[in-house]
Amino acid sequence: MFKFWKNKKGSERGDTSLSTEGEPIEAVPDLIIELTGREIQRSVAPVLGMTVLDLAERNDVDWNSFCKRGTCARCRCMVAEGIQYLSEPNLAEEGRLDPEEIEEGYRLGCQSRIEAVGPIKIRHAPYF
């Protein structure tokens, strides 16, 4: 059910970081991510390097988006727990979200990548 990839340097099974080539690495399944869409809530296994939006779509969580470039903000979400396990806000997020929103834990699902394994709770929170 859960796949593990080895990078060319031969990382050990269950490595909790991105491979050197940026390929997604499926993480250890005992630490899960809780994704809450508009009507569907699921606990899913983290996949390192994958965006929150891609993870939601992969697991059939009702997460709305149009552009996947960080401009429409339909994938805006609130990270209630585990923000330290996600990538830092990038230029697309800083250009679309107010600094106060980022400080409160709002992110764009299409831009936020899973970078480490840990308990994460994210709720879809679009403007409209």
Which helix (H) or strand (E) covers residue 104, if one does? helix 99-104
Q: With bands split at pLDDT 50, 70 and 90, how would you rate the model's confidence at 128?
A: confident
Chain segment 43-99, per-residue pLDDT in tens = 999 999 999 999 999 999 999 899 999 999 999 999 999 999 999 999 999 999 999
Mean pLDDT of 25-35: 71
Q: Does the pLDDT value for residue 10 go beyond 90?
A: no
What residues have CB less than 8 Å from 96, skipping those under 6 apart?
70, 71, 73, 108
- Averaged pLDDT score across all residues of the chain: 84
Q: Name the residue with higher pLDDT: 3 or 58.
A: 58
Tell me if the pTM is above 0.85: no
